[in-house]
Structure 1
Amino acid sequence: MVCLQQLKGRDEEHFFKATRMSVANFDCLLSILKEKLQKYSNREAIDPETRLAVTIFYLAQGCNIHVLAWTFKLGISTVRKIIYETCDAIWSELHEIYVSPPNTTELKTIAEKFYIKTGMPNCLGAIDGKHIHITRPANSGSLYYNYKKTFSIVLMAACDANYVFTYVDVGALGSQSDGGVFARSSFGKQILDGTLNVPGDAYLPATMNLFPHYFVGDSAFPLRPNLMRPFPGHNLTPDKDRFNTMLSKARVHIENAFGILANRWRILHTRISASPSNADKIVLAIIVLHNFLMLQNDRNYFQLELVDRTYNNREYHGRWRSETNPLQSFQQRFVNRSSSSAFHLRNTLKDFLNNNSS
């Protein structure tokens, strides 16, 4: 505990570098989790603040378990247990508040913000998936073996216009394709079968054309009435190229959300030495912490320079692109089983964007 108290006694900058949050937000998090982290034993129990500090250091710095054990004067197996239990507590205590699927009113607000920021009307979010590297699970064969010849689990997620994750699914086998992972994820299934609770069709701005609300993804995702992807191919006509550019402007929000995540939580740059189920707990805890800090408006955690942005009609790359190795994307696979109505709706949206863009 000495190292934590020393950090708290120094300036905010040093504390943030170690934990990716302010002292106030650390203490707020501790107050929420304290009861859940309190343990009782015949021996002197490890207090909740130490448990949280060990876990946050591990997630923020990607610390080796042995180093944490030496630093906190704890056993290696004890540190592992603390991390898994605390990650589990972070998810169980906070996910209903910070990663709860948005209701229809909240989705309408998300769509309004996307339209203001990107010019894409009726957009409910951007979706993508990333590989999270893990050590080879025992007796797993090729189940977690991905096309990059590493072992991984898959994080599939959607985010809003403020880089907050709205739908999350983690734990799919790394050997599956992007489209396969999406189809098996809970919110992916609901998008594909049309059962996701979303607002009804709304008029495209300044028109009498009713249009469904939709998510945006890259070419690895199928084209559906509620899921827009780019026109395929090169040497596209100007109107299709313009559509792809504007769709990309919305879709890049999920790329930036993952960029912030990887920039702040360096455990994602390591090969997580844990069973798949425990790796799931670690990734879900990071998602909750990301949303918690974004919604707490932690000024150090999120800075505008960190993400891609436009200023004076000039495009600037987010700082995460030069500071952080991006999380591994899926191998792109085209999915062509789309309905004629989906193709028609994409063309309708294309025409709207070309007629209403400056």
Structure 2
Amino acid sequence: MDPEYLALGIMLAVLLTETKKKKKKKRLWTRSWVARRGELGMSVLLTELEETDRKGFREFLRMSVEDFQLLLGKVEPLIKKTDTKMRRAISARQRLSLTLRFLATGESFRSLSFQYRIGRSTVGLIVMETCQALYNVLKEDHMKTPTTESEWREIASGFEDKWQFPHCLGAIDGKHIYIQPPANSGSSFYNYKGRFSIVLMAVVDANYKFIYASVGTQGRMSDASLFGHSDLRSAMDRDLLHFPRPEPLPNTDLIMPYMFVGDEAFPLRSDLIKPYPHRNLDHGQRIFNYRLCRARRTVENAFGILANRLRVFLTNISIEPDKVTCITLAALALHNFLREKSEAYVPPVFVDREDENHRVIAGTWRRGGDLDSVALSRARNATTTAKDQRDLLKAYFQSSEGSVDWQEDMI
């Protein structure tokens, strides 16, 4: 072999050997600014607010220190992680505060990543895990659909006492939750306002608490279609909800079923009543519509409270629809929890109220925006029984037993 080629071969062999011996570049587990989370992260500010500015704490997380600690005690066993030899786990307190901040503001995962000094992908995992945990620990006590006659009667009593509408088991409505369009979804989530959304259909009691929710239907669905395909309608048709049996209206012998109240988009049924169509109304029909509107306003206000206290619902949520469903269910359960535990969550001026003459004063939530209603697609083919029932209620609201002093001034 030519000595020149031999020398060249040896040189190449040496170079290859040296290359293999080079150590791989050491991979950093965390970036430097993330590593300083314990010194400068948002958890430091949260502790400072807790100790020196409790009003600021409430504005930061939309709840008091006491409510936060109570909630942390409930959810910590489900979200607490174990330290490893390589790194310390992110605490349950940080995980909960991060998730509550996301719900309260709707800030992007990237923005929260810098605020909390946590990697962006980890922020996403924390939010989803914590939302699922929140729903799991709160749903039984704070977001359970009634299943007994006594539970339904308690709700009906609330509507009769507060809104003067007897035999009402809840107000029902549907709202859009805006999302980024999923890949390859076409027009499935495209709604009548030219945006992409999933739909939340809910039933609310007299105190603005959610007692039923169905989330995740594609945004192109109308209220009537949404109800028609829901498990709520199926349960009502099969009498699985155990509504109280029909009983006389207060101070009369008129037998009346118990029912939900809804707007024009819903079907008229014996267990779901809606207003008379808004054209050529006679005096009694205007009275009926006013009385029904007072009861139905509870669901409108509940959606308004939800969207303005947990402002993630005033944004385009940039994650997959199934994850938005998880976030929404957690938020509804959290809303009910705070509605029960905290007076500060819904100040008196925040919701619609009536003055001494029963004229409506708009709640301050209306200035901040609301979830958009689902498109109307008026349901037809109401049964004769349901129409007769509505007429009986119309007559009752004009009688001495069922009228209220101020209703003539409202129409």
TM-score interval, normalised by the smaller of the two chains: over 0.9
| Alignment pair present for 1:127 and 2:172 | yes
Which residue of 1 is the match for residue 12 of structure 2? none
Whether 2:206 is the aligned partner of 1:164: answer: no
Alignment correspondent of 1:247: 292
Equivalent runs, 1:87-106 vs 2, <5 Å = 87-102=131-146, 103-106=148-151
The answer to whether structure 1 residue 53 and structure 2 residue 91 are counterparts is: no
Q: Is contact 1:98-1:292 (8 Å) kept?
A: yes
1:305 is aligned, of 335, 349, 356, to: 349
Residue 63 of structure 1: aligned partner: 107
1:194, CA displacement in angstroms?
4.2
Amino acid at match of 1:309: R
> Post-superposition shift, 1:36?
0.2
TM-score (norm 2): 0.85
Q: Measure how far apart 1:188 and its partner are.
A: 3.0
Mapped to 1, the partners of 2:374 and 2:260 lie a distance apart of 18
Shift of 1:37: 0.6
State the match for 1:33 in structure 2: 75
Residue 261 (structure 2) pairs with residue 216 (structure 1) = yes
Partner Cα distance (1:167, 1:121) in 2? 20
The structural deviation recorded for 1:67 is 1.6
Give distance in 2, aligned partners of 1:217 and 1:267.
26
- Whether 1:80 aligns to 2:140 is no
The Cα of 1:41 is off from its aligned counterpart by 5.2
Q: Is the 8 A contact 1:120 1:353 kept in 2?
A: no
Aligned to 2:378: 334
Task: Report deviation, 1:354.
Answer: 1.2
Per the TM alignment, residue 82 of structure 1 is displaced from its structure 2 partner at its CA by: 0.3
For structure 1, which segment, 286-295 or 302-311, has the greater mean C-alpha deviation from structure 2 after superposition? 302-311
Q: Aligned partners of 2:110 and 2:394: how far apart in 1?
A: 55
After superposition, what is the alpha-carbon deviation per residue over 1:90-110, rounded to whole angstroms, capped at 9, x for unaligned?
Answer: 111211111011232121011
CA contact (8 A) 1:16 1:22 kept: yes
Higher RCO (CA-CA < 8 Å; seq separation 6+)? 1
Amino acid in the other structure paired with 1:69: S
In our comparison, the structure showing a higher alpha carbon Rg is: 2
Tell me, in whole angstroms, the C-alpha distance in 2 between the residues paired with 1:188 and 1:85: 31
Name structure 2 gaps, 5 residues minimum: 1-42, 406-411
**Which string of whole-angstrom CA distances, capped at 9 and with x for unpartnered residues, describes residues 189-223 of structure 1?**
32355443211112101111111000000000000
Letter in 2 for 1:277: D
Distance 1:285 1:142 in 2: 27
SS at structure 1 position matched to 2:113: helix
Structure 1, gaps ≥5 residues long: none
Greater shift, 302-311 or 268-277, is seen at 302-311
Is structure 2 residue 37 aligned with structure 1 residue 22?
no
RMSD value over aligned CA atoms? 1.2
Q: Which deviates further from its counterpart, 57-66 or 223-232?
A: 57-66
Aligned length: 356
Q: Deviations over 1:53-82 (max 9, x none)?
A: 100000001122112111111100000110
How do 1:110-125 and structure 2 match up within 5 A? Answer: 110-125=155-170
Q: Is the 8 A contact 1:84 1:282 kept in 2?
A: yes
Distance in 2 (CA, whole Å) between partners of 1:268 and 1:204 is: 39
Q: Residue 365 of structure 2 aligns with which residue? A: 320
Percentage of identical aligned residues: 41
The DSSP-based 3-state class of the residue aligned with 2:216 is strand
Task: Report SS of the residue matched to 1:110.
Answer: helix
Q: How does 1:140-151 map to 2 (within 5 A)?
A: 140-151=185-196
- Measure the CA separation in 2 of the matches of 1:129 and 1:226: 18
Partner amino acid for 1:145?
Y
